């Protein structure tokens, strides 16, 4: 079973996302901010992280920077889940190191597509012994 880590400060949105993921067969770990997410990455080793951009303590942009700077976590697929939907926001998010972008409210079909794309991409990058290969970002 694939494990998804959610970093979302809004409890209602976090619960909705958890329910969508659990209905699709994912194991879910929840956090309220980027700092908690970084701790949980080390402890639970998720297959993918879904992170809100506007969180207290450590926002999504600070979280992605710390993930990409850490050799142990840098290959973790990270999907931005955000209400930022203005022109140019998608490009800004992707140029910051995120692997994908989902706007709120969440469209379940788009969620499925992004999870399948990122998890299959990550599976292809792992060797036969499960070690992640490194890859370059913009």
Cα gap 81→111, rounded to integer Å:
9
The answer to whether residue 138 sits within a structural domain is no
For residue 15, pLDDT over 70 is answered with: yes
Q: How far is CA 60 from the centre of its chain?
A: 9
Q: What is the three-class DSSP state of 109?
A: helix
Give yes or no for a contact between 52 and 60, defined as CB atoms under 8 angstroms apart: yes
What is the pairing mode between strands 48-51 and 3-7? parallel
Neighbours of 49 (CB within 10 A): 30
**Between these two residues, 33 and 131, which has the higher pLDDT value?**
33
**Between these two residues, 28 and 104, which has the higher pLDDT value?**
28
The answer to whether residue 136 sits within a structural domain is no
Length of the chain equals 138
pLDDT digits (tens, 9 = 90+) for 57-96: 999 999 999 999 999 999 999 999 988 767 788 889 999 9
For residue 124, pLDDT over 80 is answered with: no
**Number of structural domains found in the chain:** 1
For residue 127, pLDDT over 50 is answered with: no
Predicted TM-score (pTM) of the model is 0.86
**According to the model, what pLDDT value does residue 99 have?**
96
**According to the model, what pLDDT value does residue 90 have?**
85
**According to the model, what pLDDT value does residue 59 have?**
95
**Within 13 A of 110's CA, how many CA atoms are on the CB side?**
12
Cα gap 97→106, rounded to integer Å:
21
Backbone torsions φ then ψ of 108, nearest 5 degrees: -55, -35
The answer to whether residue 134 sits within a structural domain is no
**According to the model, what pLDDT value does residue 79 have?**
97
CATH number for the domain that contains residue 59: 3.40.50.2300
pLDDT digits (tens, 9 = 90+) for 33-57: 999 999 999 999 999 999 999 999 9
Domain extent, residue 79, equals 3-124
For residue 44, give both structure tokens. Answer: 């639970």
């Amino acid at each position: 079973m694939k494990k998804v880590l959610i970093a979302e400060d809004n409890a209602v949105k976090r619960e909705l996302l958890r329910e969508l993921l659990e209905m699709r067969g994912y194991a879910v770990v929840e956090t309220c901010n980027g700092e908690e997410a970084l701790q949980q990455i080390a402890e639970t080793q998720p297959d993918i992280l879904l992170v809100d951009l506007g969180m207290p303590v450590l926002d999504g942009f600070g979280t992605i920077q710390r993930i990409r700077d850490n050799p142990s976590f840098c290959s973790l697929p990270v999907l931005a889940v955000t209400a930022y939907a203005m022109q140019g926001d998608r490009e800004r998010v992707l140029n910051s190191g995120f692997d994908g972008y989902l706007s709120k409210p969440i469209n379940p079909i788009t969620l499925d597509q992004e999870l399948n794309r990122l998890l299959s991409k990550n599976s292809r990058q792992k060797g036969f012994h499960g070690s992640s290969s490194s890859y370059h970002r913009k």
